[in-house]
């Protein structure tokens, strides 16, 4: 088939594998209707340049990796489906893009870059955005000497801003990656994107192809649009994708809906059209880019190439009557039933919207957001949660499910509903401790009507942190021992040496101990300096004394006691792994300073971790500790444990 003849395809009804190179004949003109959103990739929070171009980078990286991975042999790189319909403008046929405009526009910018940098003469396809007719893609150039090199101007409008961002990113990719590879990448990219297809008699024919899946959703004749009379779309589509084309489930399902909507039409009186379906689909996909929603509902142990795939897993798994394991086949089998009607199609579509709206409502309700997110973090699926919610009052069900997470880890509750947590320790119950501390933070946020930020929590790789450092975490190298004494022990002890009793204005007992420890540390450093080694392992004893001093006010507590208390839940909290690594063997005062700095810099510190270091949980009757911010003593640990138990008890009643 001659794919270079745009007019020939006007009346063609079947899905087509369209090599990008076959669009480069000067006969393809695309329009983006005004009801579509403009050109902009949406990913992350968009607060920095890398986030705003992430999906452009993803495409460039995919193309680069594709050509590198296939130095010889035939291979196709499949782009997302391109849903189009022909529109006659009075002179020629244009193609109105119903879906795929973002990728098509980015591909045009890439092709323009390669054409100019590699001095090729391929005529490119054209794109016109009906909502931004002043945006002239023909003016865009990568020639630095051209007066249009700085076009488009980012400040003109939002589309110009994103087009310019993408253009600049593509040029940087070419300069840093493509042009820095001895010409090998240039040749392979030219083969994949620019060289004519074998169907045009190219010799030698290209082995690498970048391919759009082309769907003409409304075939037409020279007399205007006509109804399709060859309904092979579903079977052809199924054959194309049977183990060959790496499209995601949601992309396949979208194609099914569009193809069946074209086949069956909408029920009488329905507002469902291809355009409304594509708009809603795009809106759902855009909303799922919000990480505060996404990381409330998405499992940790599964990566989704397309976030909408999770929605269809949710729908399929929530249908207790279905045994189907693949979401695409779940819909395909329903639609391929001999009795399937236009009304059935609309019912399926309504079900998709209803399930998506349910996820959005969960996210909007702070209480449901907190508990669903917690359960998902603990390995529950949103479909399982949804089924449980259907059995009773939402709040009661969620409370019971959270309680079951703890009981499954062996945690018992007394008759008043208070959990028994005192026996938990880091070495033997790390997973149970992690679930308890996360629940403590979640229900504490919930108490104040706040949403727990599962996006920040997951992105920061938060894990269990010892408040008072472990003494059994070895420091072996002599340089590291010297550094610990100088940077950890001395700065903290130096401040403590001046502590006075406010009533008598005399040095406190703690100040005297601090001075003794400073003197001992100085002697230790002199030995290290003289011998260059720790011959009698004196550092271990000195470190134990300093850690014991800050944890108990007594430098002579045994290693066994320190180790047991250090691993108990009263000495454990959740913290960002980066901060944890930054101060790994730090004393409590230095940890407090580091947390304050990180908090001021905008790093997310879990609410209960912040409260812990502020001594929020220490009872005022323990005044000697509550107002001593530089120590985390045994009484602080005990009060902290009681606060955890009390908070969880009240939340789950």
Beta bridge partners, 87, equal 94
Tell me: the pLDDT tens digits for 405-425? 999 999 999 999 999 999 999
Closest CA to 22 of 199, 217, 185, 187: 199
pLDDT at 224 over 60: no
> Does residue 340 register a pLDDT over 50?
yes
* Contact assessment for residue 587 and residue 547, using Cβ atoms and an 8 Å cutoff: yes
Q: How high is the pLDDT of residue 576? A: 87
| Per-residue confidence (pLDDT) for residue 474, from 0 to 100 | 79
Q: Is the CB of residue 206 less than 8 Å from the CB of residue 191?
A: yes
Q: How many CB atoms lie within 10 A of CB 412?
A: 11
- Tell me how long the chain is: 653
Angle between helices 342-364 and 366-377 (to 10 degrees): 100
Q: Which residue has the higher pLDDT, 82 or 642?
A: 642
Q: Could you tell me the pTM of the whole model?
A: 0.69
CB 511 within 8 A of CB 496: yes
Report the pLDDT value the prediction gives residue 52, as an integer from 0 to 100.
61
Range of weakest confidence among 251-255, 543-547, 604-608:
251-255
DSSP, residue by residue, 378-434: TT--HHHHHHHHTTS-HHHHHHHHHHHHHHTTT--B-TTS-B--TT-BTTT-HHHHH
pLDDT range class, residue 444, cuts 50, 70, 90? very high
Q: Tell me what the mean pLDDT of segment 553-574 comes to.
A: 89
The CA-to-CA distance between both ends of the chain, in Å, stands at 69
Categorize the per-residue pLDDT at 235 as very low, low, confident or very high, splitting at 50, 70 and 90: very low
CA contacts within 13 A on the Cβ side of 456: 13
Which of 129-143, 292-306, 623-637 is the least confident region?
A: 623-637
Above 90 in pLDDT, residue 34? no
pLDDT at 147: 95
326 falls in which pLDDT band (50, 70, 90)? confident
Q: Where are the alpha helices (DSSP H) in 509-605?
A: 509-531, 538-552, 559-567, 577-582, 588-600
Q: 53 pLDDT exceeds 90? A: no
Determine the pLDDT at residue 10.
84
pLDDT at 244: 41
Q: Are 636 and 550 in contact (CB under 8 A)?
A: no
pLDDT higher than 50, residue 556: yes
Of 384, 445, 430, the residue nearest 606 (C-alpha): 445
- Say what the pLDDT of residue 202 is: 66
Q: What angle do CA 431, 435, 438 make, to 5 degrees?
A: 135
**Which range (379-388, 484-493, 549-558) has the least confidence?**
549-558
Which residues share a beta bridge with 129?
32
| Of 96, 41, 652, 171, residue with least CA distance to 402 | 652
- Relative to beta strand 75-88, strand 572-576 is unpaired
Rounded to 10 degrees, the C-alpha dihedral 351/355/357/363 comes to 180
State the pLDDT at residue 589: 86
Which tokens sit at 82? 């391109």
| Per-residue model confidence (pLDDT) at position 216 | 84
Which range has the top average pLDDT, 150-164, 333-347, 373-387, 500-514? 373-387
Higher pLDDT, 230 or 303: 303
Confidence band for 552, pLDDT divided at 50, 70 and 90 = confident
Q: Residue 472 above 80 pLDDT?
A: no
pLDDT band for position 133 (50/70/90)?
confident
pLDDT digits (tens, 9 = 90+) for 283-309: 999 999 999 999 999 998 888 888 999
How much is the pLDDT for 237?
44
**Average pLDDT along the chain:** 86
**pLDDT > 60? residue 234:** no
Out of 278-287, 368-377, 610-619, the most confident range is: 368-377
Q: What six digits make up the tokens of 302? A: 């599964």
Least confident of 259-263, 371-375, 396-400: 259-263
User: Under a CB-based contact definition with an 8 Å cutoff, are residues 647 and 440 in contact?
Assistant: yes
Per-residue model confidence as pLDDT tens digits over 191-208: 999 998 877 766 678 889
Token pair of 135 as six digits = 């945006």
Least confident of 82-91, 370-379, 539-548: 82-91
Pairing of strands 126-129, 75-88: unpaired
pLDDT at 39: 85
Contacts of residue 501, defined as CB under 8 A and 6 or more positions apart, other chains included, come to 507, 508
CA max distance for the chain: 103
The confidence score (pLDDT) of residue 624 equals 54
Say whether the peptide bond before residue 249 is cis (omega within 30 degrees of 0).
Answer: no
Ranking 210-224, 499-513, 529-543 by mean pLDDT, the lowest is 210-224
pLDDT of 564 reads: 85
The pLDDT, as a whole number, for residue 228 is 37
Radius of gyration of the chain measured on its C-alpha atoms: 32
Q: Supply the pLDDT for residue 193.
A: 94
201-210, 311-320, 431-440, 531-540: least confidently modelled range: 201-210
Q: What is the mean pLDDT of residues 565-578?
A: 91
Q: Give me the pLDDT at residue 231, please.
A: 36
* The pLDDT of residue 323 is above 90: no
pLDDT confidence tier of residue 262, bands split at 50, 70 and 90: confident
The pLDDT, as a whole number, for residue 41 is: 66
Range from 30-39, 150-159, 467-476, 625-634 carrying the lowest mean pLDDT: 625-634
């Amino acid at each position: 088939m001659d794919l270079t003849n745009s007019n020939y395809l006007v009346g063609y009804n079947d899905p087509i594998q369209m090599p990008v190179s076959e669009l480069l004949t000067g006969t393809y003109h695309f329009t983006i209707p005004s009801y579509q959103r403009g050109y902009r990739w949406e990913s992350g929070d968009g607060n920095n340049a890398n986030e705003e171009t992430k999906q452009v980078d993803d495409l460039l990286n995919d193309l680069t990796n594709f050509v590198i991975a296939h130095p010889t042999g035939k291979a196709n790189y499949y782009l997302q489906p391109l849903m189009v319909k022909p529109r006659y403008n009075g002179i020629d046929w244009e193609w109105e893009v119903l879906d795929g405009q973002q990728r098509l526009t980015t591909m045009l910018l890439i092709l323009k870059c390669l054409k100019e940098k590699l001095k090729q003469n391929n005529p490119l396809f054209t794109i016109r955005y009906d909502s931004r007719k002043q945006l002239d893609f023909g003016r865009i150039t990568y020639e630095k000497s051209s007066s249009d090199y700085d076009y488009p101007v980012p400040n003109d409008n939002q589309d110009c801003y994103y087009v310019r961002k993408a253009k600049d990113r593509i040029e940087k990719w070419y300069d840093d990656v493509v042009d820095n590879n001895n010409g090998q990448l240039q040749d392979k990219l030219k083969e994949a994107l620019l060289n004519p297809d074998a169907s045009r008699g190219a010799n030698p024919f290209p082995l690498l192809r970048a391919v759009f899946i082309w769907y003409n959703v409304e075939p037409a004749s020279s007399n205007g649009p006509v109804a399709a009379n060859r309904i092979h779309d579903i079977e052809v589509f199924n054959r194309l994708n049977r183990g060959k084309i790496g499209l995601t489930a949601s992309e396949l399902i979208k194609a099914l809906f569009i193809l069946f909507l074209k086949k069956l039409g909408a029920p009488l009186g329905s507002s469902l059209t291809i355009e409304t379906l594509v708009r809603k689909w795009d809106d759902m996909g855009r909303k799922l880019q919000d990480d505060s929603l996404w990381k409330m509902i998405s499992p940790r142990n599964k990566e989704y190439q397309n976030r909408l795939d999770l929605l269809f897993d949710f729908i399929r798994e929530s249908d207790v009557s279905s045994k189907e394991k693949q979401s695409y086949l779940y819909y395909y089998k329903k639609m391929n039933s001999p009795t399937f009607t236009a009304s059935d199609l609309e019912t399926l579509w309504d079900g998709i919207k209803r399930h998506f709206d349910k996820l959005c409502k969960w996210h909007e309700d702070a209480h449901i957001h907190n508990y669903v997110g917690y359960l998902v973090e603990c390995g529950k699926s949103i479909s399982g949660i949804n089924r449980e919610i259907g059995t009773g009052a939402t709040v009661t069900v969620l409370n019971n499910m959270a309680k079951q997470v703890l009981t499954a880890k062996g945690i018992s509750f007394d008759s008043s509903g208070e959990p028994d947590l005192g026996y938990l320790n880091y070495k033997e119950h790390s997973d149970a401790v992690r679930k308890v501390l996360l629940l403590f933070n979640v229900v504490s946020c919930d108490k104040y009507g706040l949403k727990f930020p599962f996006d920040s929590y997951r992105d920061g790789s938060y894990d269990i942190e010892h408040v008072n450092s472990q003494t059994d975490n070895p420091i072996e190298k002599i340089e590291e021992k010297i550094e610990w004494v100088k940077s950890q022990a001395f700065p903290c002890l130096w401040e403590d040496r001046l502590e006075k009793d406010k009533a008598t204005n005399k040095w406190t007992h703690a100040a005297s101990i601090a001075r003794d420890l400073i003197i001992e540390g100085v002697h230790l450093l002199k030995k290290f300096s003289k011998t260059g080694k720790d011959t009698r392992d004196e550092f271990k004893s000195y470190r134990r004394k300093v850690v014991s001093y800050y944890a108990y006010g007594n430098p002579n507590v045994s290693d066994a006691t320190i180790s047991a208390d250090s691993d108990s839940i009263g000495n454990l909290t959740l913290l960002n792994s980066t901060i944890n690594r930054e101060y790994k063997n730090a004393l409590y005062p230095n940890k407090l300073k580091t947390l304050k700095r990180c908090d001021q810099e905008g790093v997310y510190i879990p609410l209960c971790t912040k409260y812990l270091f502020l001594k929020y949980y220490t009872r005022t009757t323990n005044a000697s500790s509550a107002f001593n911010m530089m120590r985390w003593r045994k009484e602080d640990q005990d009060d902290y444990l009681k606060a955890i138990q009390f908070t969880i008890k009240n939340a789950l009643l």
